[in-house]
């Protein structure tokens, strides 16, 4: 499973520089919405964030912009991928720009001392 996820991640990162958001493959289907799970590690508060592609979501000091959300076709193993741009409003705050996979959150995970963000899935 990890090899498949690592190979997918390599494919995601190998898109041409001219593409705004590289696509994981032609068989993935775009969706208009996203559902994220955000965790405040200090208070142990977990929040489900839902939004539309192109929209910015807020959690604590984070701004999370969803650029794309894709799912696999029904005839393939279930998975979702979201291209996120995450920035922290604190000075020298952490940033992340890339794909997050629902089935393999540890492959490309946003690392932050106070927050954790994971992909639950894509919504129509």
Instruction: Flag whether 109 is in a domain.
Output: yes
| Residue 61 domain boundaries | 2-17+27-123
Split into its structural domains, the chain has a count of 1
Residue 79 in contact with residue 102, Cβ under 8 Å? yes
HSE-up of 27 (CA within 13 Å, CB side)? 9
Does 11 map to a domain?
A: yes
**Is 54 a domain residue?**
yes
E strands present in the chain? 29-30, 33-40, 45-52, 56-59, 62-71, 80-88, 95-101, 115-123
Distance CA 87, CA 24 (A): 23
The length of the chain, given as a count of residues: 124
Domain assignment of residue 22, yes or no: no
Q: How confident is the model at residue 21 (pLDDT cuts 50, 70, 90)?
A: low
What is residue 4's predicted lDDT score, i.e. its pLDDT?
45
pLDDT tens digits along 38-88? 999 999 999 999 999 999 999 999 999 999 999 999 999 999 999 999 999
């Amino acid at each position: 499973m990890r090899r498949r996820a690592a190979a997918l991640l390599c494919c995601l990162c190998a898109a041409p520089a001219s593409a705004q958001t590289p696509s994981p493959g032609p068989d993935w289907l775009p969706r208009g919405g996203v559902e994220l799970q955000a965790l405040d590690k200090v208070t142990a508060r977990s929040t489900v964030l839902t939004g539309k592609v192109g929209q910015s979501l807020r959690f604590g000091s984070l701004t999370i912009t969803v650029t794309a959300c894709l799912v696999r076709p029904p005839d393939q193993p279930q998975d979702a991928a979201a291209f996120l741009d995450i920035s922290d409003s604190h000075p020298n705050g952490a940033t992340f720009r890339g794909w997050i996979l629902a089935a393999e959150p540890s492959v490309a995970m946003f690392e932050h001392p106070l927050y954790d963000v994971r992909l639950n899935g894509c919504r129509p």
